[in-house]
Amino acid sequence: MLLLILLTLAVFIAGCLYVNFLRKVNHWKNRKIPHAKPVFPEGNYRGTGSINLGVILKSIYDSGKTEKVYGFWQFHIPTLMIIDPDLVKCVLASDFSHFDDHGVYFDEEIDPLSANLLTLGGSQWKCIRTKLAPAFTTGKMKLMFPMMLKCAEDLREVLEGPAERREVIEFKELLARFTTDVISSCAFGVEVQSLKHKNSIFRIRGKEVFESSWEVLLRNFIGFLFPGLARFFKLRIYSKELTQFFLKFIRESMEERKRENIHRNDILQMLMELRDKGFIGDADDSSNSKFRVYQYSKEKFTLEQAAAQAFIFFTAGFETSSTTTQYALYELAVHPEMQERVRKEVKRVINKYNGSITYEGLTEMEFLGRIVEETLRKYPPASNLSRICTKEYKLPGTDIVIEKGTQISVCIYGLHMDERYYPNPEVFDPDRFTEEQKAARHRFTYIPFGEGPRICIGYKFGLTQTKLGLATILSNYTVDVADGKTRIPPIYDPKSFFFAPKDGMHLKISPVARNGQ
């Protein structure tokens, strides 16, 4: 009987979805907007589960790249992809107030970690973003740099033995442990040492967030496509165990610091200020931010709000930076002459600063910087930016009016791999990012961290730990392609929301020759 009930329910739901799909199938045609042809039930997401989402979105972008905008369907949801860089600028920056919401499902009551800077919209997002902005200034990065250096030294030590033995290393997991250590130290003031202890609790919890299981994918799938249904059933994006662990850790850490009168230059300390005072440092700090998005407010953070922001900084930071670092090493292994060129630069700058990697020294490593920029072009941390139109908007230079509630897509990967802006886009060429080359391109054809008021708040931190990891490895070791192990080109994990390499990133490591310059 139960099986019959479940089968009947499944048929009923499928029927409702099909009727809803038919009702929307002419959405873009009726608005005279060029569009892809949808297929039930996936719309234009054909291959979901067997093809990486970024690759699917790029194929949609390529189909419509001669247009200014292009309509498509994310399953049953009509979505407008913004193709033209001038219009991308309008959506992300110039007319941001019409598109200030990601439209991502969250429920702060049953799933408090889900109500973070990435998912919040409108006034909630504006308030928290303004409060957190002073935590990510260049000055704050410099204060955190000594903590990063300690983790970089651990990375050097961990690689020393395998390098002497000329071993093949799986860099995806290794670098995720490195960035976990960096962020745990800089965010929470704790040395989790996951580089030396693979089963550290922070690494285990971090892996849980990006676990590519079908259960996790299904939760995200329902939350995105059926947010009303998700709220009705009180769907959790993050497990109860993960939430309890993180809330307990933040609460106990704050209590210990207050009790012992401990003060550290880390993110947790700044979140404590927000909880106690409602602001970081002086109230005037927020006026220095690039985008003044919200009138200054002294409303204090709750424990749950503080934990949610700490959580997203931790999880988003280690996965994206470690992915960028591993792909940079991959490209340098494939291009050994490029690796030697950047190694000479890194060692020259280190020698200038008495044999040490310094914050100032990293900024002087220009070729290393271009390598990171080109890596972010070819393998962006996120393949797509989602927005919701929150106020009716007429696209400049067109007759197109975007209705309130319309789902918007900006395909980062499509823009970055468009031969009109980057000739031979599959070729890894750091010299695309000389000052002359950058000045000749439209600024909004390169948006690895987004742009405008919702640009990634921690992008400076991410760039710093990426460059530090690369400088540490390249000044001490050589990375090479491992025959039979290194996939050329990489194959992207179809179940990952990022461009994570399927089955990891395997490279051979060896010490730098003693006479290397």
Sign of the Cα pseudo-torsion (394, 395, 398, 401, in order)? negative
Q: Where are the beta strands (DSSP E) in 60-131?
A: 69-74, 77-82
Tokens representing 46 are 């054909």
Helix (H, G, I), strand (E, B) or coil at 407: strand
Helix (H, G, I), strand (E, B) or coil at 390: coil
Helix (H, G, I), strand (E, B) or coil at 325: helix
Cα separation, 237 vs 111, in Å, equals 7
Cα separation, 491 vs 55, in Å, equals 11
456 is in an annotated binding site: yes
Cα separation, 352 vs 434, in Å, equals 23
Cα separation, 456 vs 340, in Å, equals 32
Cα separation, 102 vs 96, in Å, equals 12
Cα separation, 41 vs 47, in Å, equals 12
User: How long, in residues, is the chain?
Assistant: 517
Token pair 């039979």 is found at 484
Q: Where are the beta strands (DSSP E) in 340-419?
A: 384-388, 393-394, 401-402, 407-411
Q: Which residue ranges make up the annotated binding site?
A: 456
Q: Which residue ranges make up the annotated binding site for heme?
A: 456
